């Protein structure tokens, strides 16, 4: 059972961040979000298990289509069906193949995160072929998806506070962008540390590496509540 008003501390600090833009308030909000909202970094990592599972599915789908491996019958990623399609149409096909609609908020957040991650990929690698990504490009997509999904869950849980407390709509959008970038930077740092320790996003360990990156990230966030 979730504790009553479990996001109260996170919302209070986030409201201060929305008004002032002080990064210390954002850190405190993230700290309370993990510690009180999700019961600590270990529980938060478990609760975000769907992020790791979807990341693994995304990696598998992108690797399989790039290698020409047989796909499931009627797969949205059938290259024959996608020949001549736009990048947006291919992104939509990836989303449908990896995270079909199931009516839950988690699914909607993950679908949006997949699409955003692929958009980030095309910004970073403008000439990339979404149906033939190399290993580095797939790794980039997985890391981006992980970060964006964490941000989108945070936004779903308490992001409304920024809209309510910011002095203007323009400021609210700016504050949300700051949160997104900070979450992305923290998760990117976690993946870098894991790579330095020899834990790479290879096909056999993607889910575990993503879970480890999430745990490191939530450890950092929880520390801000101290």
- What are the structural domain ranges in the chain? 8-223
pLDDT reported for residue 200: 85
| Higher pLDDT pick, 30 / 78 | 30
pLDDT in tens, 4-54: 588 999 999 999 999 999 999 999 999 999 999 999 999 999 999 999 999
Cβ-count burial 111-145 (b if 16+ within 10 Å, e if not) = bbbbbbbbebbbeebeebebbebeeebbbbbbbbb
Segment 94-101 long-range contacts (CB within 8 Å, at least 24 positions apart): 94/58, 94/61, 94/62, 94/118, 94/130, 97/61, 98/54, 98/57, 98/58, 98/61, 99/54, 99/57
Torsion of CA 207, 209, 211, 212, to 10 degrees: 160
Closest listed residue to residue 147, CA positions, set 191, 103, 87: 191
Q: Per-residue pLDDT for 123 more than 60?
A: yes
pLDDT at 203: 60
User: Does 171 have pLDDT greater than 70?
Assistant: yes
Residue 106 has pLDDT above 90, yes or no: no
Residues 6+ apart with CB under 8 A from 151: 179, 180, 183, 184
Kindly indicate the confidence band of residue 70, based on its pLDDT and cuts at 50, 70 and 90. low
- pLDDT number for residue 3: 53
Q: Is the pTM of this model over 0.95?
A: no
pLDDT of 1 higher than 70: no
């Amino acid at each position: 059972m979730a504790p009553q008003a479990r996001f109260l501390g996170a919302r209070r600090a986030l409201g201060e961040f929305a008004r002032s833009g002080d990064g210390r308030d954002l850190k405190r909000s993230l700290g309370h979000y993990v510690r009180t909202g999700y019961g600590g970094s270990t529980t938060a990592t478990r609760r975000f298990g769907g992020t790791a599972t979807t990341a693994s599915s995304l990696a598998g789908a992108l690797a399989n289509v790039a290698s020409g491996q047989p796909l499931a019958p009627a797969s949205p990623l059938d290259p024959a069906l996608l020949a001549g399609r736009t990048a947006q149409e291919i992104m939509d096909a990836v989303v449908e193949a990896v995270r079909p609609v199931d009516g839950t908020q988690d699914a909607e957040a993950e679908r949006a995160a997949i699409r955003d991650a692929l958009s980030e990929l095309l910004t970073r690698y403008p000439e990339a072929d979404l149906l033939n990504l190399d290993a580095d490009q797939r790794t980039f997509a997985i890391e981006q998806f992980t970060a964006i999904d964490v941000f989108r869950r945070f936004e779903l849980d308490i992001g409304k506070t920024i809209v309510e407390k910011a002095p203007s709509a323009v400021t609210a959008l700016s504050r949300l962008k700051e949160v997104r970038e900070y979450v992305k930077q923290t998760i990117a740092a976690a993946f870098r540390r894991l790579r330095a320790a020899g834990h790479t996003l290879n096909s056999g360990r993607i889910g575990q590496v993503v879970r480890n990156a999430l745990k490191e990230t939530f450890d950092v966030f929880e520390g801000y509540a101290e």
